[in-house]
Structure 1
Amino acid sequence: MSKPKPLVALISSVPDQLQELLAVVTLRYSAVVIPPGSIFSLASLPFLVILHFQAHTSQQWLLVEHLRRVFPDSKVFGVGQPTQAEDVVNAYRHGIMAYFMAPVGYQQLLAQLDRQSRPTWQQWWARLMTFWQKPVSEAPLQLITPTVLPLKPGKKVDFQLRFLGRFSITTATGECLPLNNNRTTLLLACLLYHRHRGIDRDRLIDYFWPDVPLDCARNSLNVAISQVRQLLKDSTQHADFINFRDGKYEVNPTITFSSDVDTFQQLVKRGKSDQQLGHIREASVWFQQALDHYRGDFLADLPQLEWMSTIRDTWWETRLFVLEQLTALFLEQEQFKEALKTGHQVLSLDNCLERTHRQLMYAYYRSGERSRALRQYAECQQILQEEFDTSPSLETMELHEIIVRQERKKVSFPLI
């Protein structure tokens, strides 16, 4: 599946050079242009920031200091045409991460953005936790995930829902509801996924009939809802499964559910909690159990509509996160066979992750497969060159030298 482009904020007051810089940056990134005067009123800023210098003045340095103070997690890069060497020195002194000459340094800027655009696992976890813990009333509807903890073991529920992979609904007696791979089933899946808060009628129309005249779209929605209700009535004996109230369609709150996304989310949280406490083995078990519940991408067997893309990407990237953590945990326990398995799964999802290439190099070398470790380095080198026109990082090259020299040194885990 295609991954969304990372977002870059471009702060510029140089209109004659802006379009040229934008043309380069937007080859691989989404960009938002922000006037310098608007910075002091912003409440948030993307992870990657390009500050396009026009003049190296004291006002410019105040702007840089404001960015570093208010948005300490953002990576700020400078682009400009310094008139003296002191301009570049001042840029670094005030917190610019790297400075590039315009326009000759644009490709080097892209290479640096590529190195920084893949968040570390700590940053990614923080982003996921923000996503999961946001109050339902504040989060965008299409991003809402179930916030109810899984019911205690042994307590029966009316229905078990599976959203990851092939969509299914199973009754308490183990019977699977007969579902077709059509838009009616997708509408049912949407209603059930958003069951904790309901969903506006107009939003459903936007999701499923965006280009249809309003009267026709409402008629199509009414027909589809009737079909959903008939299916549920025939299969579950719940005549009031789906209700309409105050402009919203809601699932009957007296009906109980469990779902794979609930369980997957909670197992990941437990794994991370034990990982932070240093309980390595326990964390590994939780993460492995979480992966057991990821049987495919979100609603993979149903028609793919635009409203599903953000939800699908979030769960896909959560799976990638879990696999990355498992690889690191296996290495810490010197379980190299398992680390090789999960590491290759990571690269099958995103082969540009240099850290994972480095982990596989280390696992192969510690397993006595030096030639495989060297081939892994060559593969990493080729991918970085082809995709980003850059070379491996110093950490990766240092590990490569250790392997070439056949040292018995155990590499520290910050390097891995």
Structure 2
Amino acid sequence: MTLRVQLCGEFRVWRGRKELTPTLARLGKPKTLLKIFITHPGRIFSPDELIELLWPEAPADTSATNLRKRISELRRALEPHLSRGSQSHYILTRSGGYCFNPHAPCTTDVQEFLRLWEEGQRFESAGQFGQAICAYERALALAQGEFLAEDRYEEWTLALRERWHEMVLKTLSRLAECYAHLREYQRALDQCRKMLELAPTREEIYRQKMLYHYLAGEESEAVHTYQTCVETLKRALDLQPSPETLALYEQIIQREVSAPLPPALHNLPQELTSFIGRAREISQIKQLLFSARLVTLTGPGGCGKTRLARKVASELLRDYPDGVWLIELAAIADPKACAGADRRFPGAARNRPSSGSGPALPAPQEKKYAARAGQL
């Protein structure tokens, strides 16, 4: 049965659907032991290390006995039906010490956060900023409350808490960058404000915020952000802004900020095979897209409509600087829900050709939607 552990905010534990938090709270030290083990899966702690963490002032002989009892209590709390002498699935005895089994059926909110972070990184690296935003936001939704909030003053948590703090800041920063790539500068600025609440003296956050204000046409706000940075660094650290921050400020007031050209915005999947032929159809679809607001591809299932639509979309990336978006409709059962499906992609409804004229580029449609459209 899977163990689920919440490390952010209140420490909570479930085995399957049953919550074990009240039982662990009554036991006391076994709860602390679980926190130590679960945050270091696979690491073997010697009895002396654990005694130092739990009873630093107690006599060694009594502490060793206490430790064995508390380990036994923790094992029974996690596995009430574990018979005497049986091997625990979670708390292992190894080389004279103890460890949390890294292969045990167990998930934590931190593990899920890191999985979503890596997913966001992959999407961002591929230029698929809409999906990256979804992944980063889902990760941050798990980061509610302090990491091991009940143990904020325990020495063994300090390094862990600092790493978690940096991870949250890094995720907010990447989320802000993704929004900026989509030219959703106000949402990018929202992430900067959250970062400054967590790290009010972090100078690179001020630079990020200054740049987004400038790109949003809010030059006075960019200057104000610089002034706030100067005052905060002086008051809190008795420091002056770095040359990098000063250089950005001077570029802003002179309106000479050199922002790199953003990559083409899209969420098109990486194709595993090359596209061969159908040049005539591709040319016809391109022509239709510049004279109609909607182009529907119809045909028997499996004839390659979706692949053809993605090919055309990939060839039009530079013609639509606001983005080309694939909106999955196959999983939508209610036809009325299709109209709002593009809301997941910031700014997707505003796509226009670079010339400023012509229709919005409709996202390539999935097969089911194309078939329904063809029957209207």
- Calculate the TM-score normalised by the size of structure 2: 0.59
By how many angstroms is 1:287 displaced? 1.9
By how many angstroms is 1:380 displaced? 0.8
Root-mean-square deviation (CA), in Å? 2.9
Aligned residue runs from structure 1 range 39-188, under 5 A: 158-173=2-17, 175-178=19-22, 179-180=24-25, 182-188=28-34
**Which position in structure 2 is the counterpart of 1:289?**
138
1:207/1:305 contact within 8 Å kept: no
Aligned residue runs from structure 1 range 10-409, under 5 A: 158-173=2-17, 175-178=19-22, 179-180=24-25, 182-234=28-80, 237-239=81-83, 241=88, 242-251=91-100, 255-302=104-151, 304-404=153-253, 407=255
Q: 1:194, 1:316 → 2: CA distance?
A: 17
**Worse overlay, 180-189 or 257-266:** 180-189
CA, structure 1 residues 358+192, in 2 after alignment: closer, same or farther (shift >3 Å)? Answer: closer
Q: 2:102, 2:116 → 1: CA distance?
A: 25
CA, structure 1 residues 335+221, in 2 after alignment: closer, same or farther (shift >3 Å)? Answer: same
Instruction: Tell me the alpha carbon deviations over residues 202-238 of structure 1, each in whole angstroms, 9 at most, x when there is no partner.
Output: 221122223322112213313322432343344xx34
Q: 2:82, 2:76 → 1: CA distance?
A: 10
CA, structure 1 residues 172+372, in 2 after alignment: closer, same or farther (shift >3 Å)? Answer: same
Q: 1:375, 1:174 → 2: CA distance?
A: 52
**Which position in structure 2 is the counterpart of 1:13?**
none
Q: 2:166, 2:206 → 1: CA distance?
A: 18
Instruction: Tell me the alpha carbon deviations over residues 170-202 of structure 1, each in whole angstroms, 9 at most, x when there is no partner.
Output: 122254542328433111222333343443222
Q: Which AA in structure 1 matches 2:125? A: Q
SS class of match (1:249): strand
> Identity over aligned residues, as a percent?
28
- Calculate the TM-score normalised by the size of structure 1: 0.54
By how many angstroms is 1:372 displaced? 2.7
What is the aligned residue count? 254
CA, structure 1 residues 303+272, in 2 after alignment: closer, same or farther (shift >3 Å)? Answer: closer
2:42/2:101 contact within 8 Å kept: no
**Which position in structure 2 is the counterpart of 1:34?**
none
1:184/1:227 contact within 8 Å kept: yes
1:186/1:302 contact within 8 Å kept: no
SS class of match (2:25): coil
More strand by share: 1
By how many angstroms is 1:384 displaced? 2.9
**Which position in structure 2 is the counterpart of 1:98?**
none
SS class of match (2:93): strand
By how many angstroms is 1:398 displaced? 4.3
CA, structure 1 residues 252+343, in 2 after alignment: closer, same or farther (shift >3 Å)? Answer: closer
SS class of match (1:334): coil
SS class of match (1:199): coil
CA, structure 1 residues 261+377, in 2 after alignment: closer, same or farther (shift >3 Å)? Answer: same
**Worse overlay, 217-226 or 339-348:** 217-226
By how many angstroms is 1:374 displaced? 2.2
2:233/2:241 contact within 8 Å kept: yes
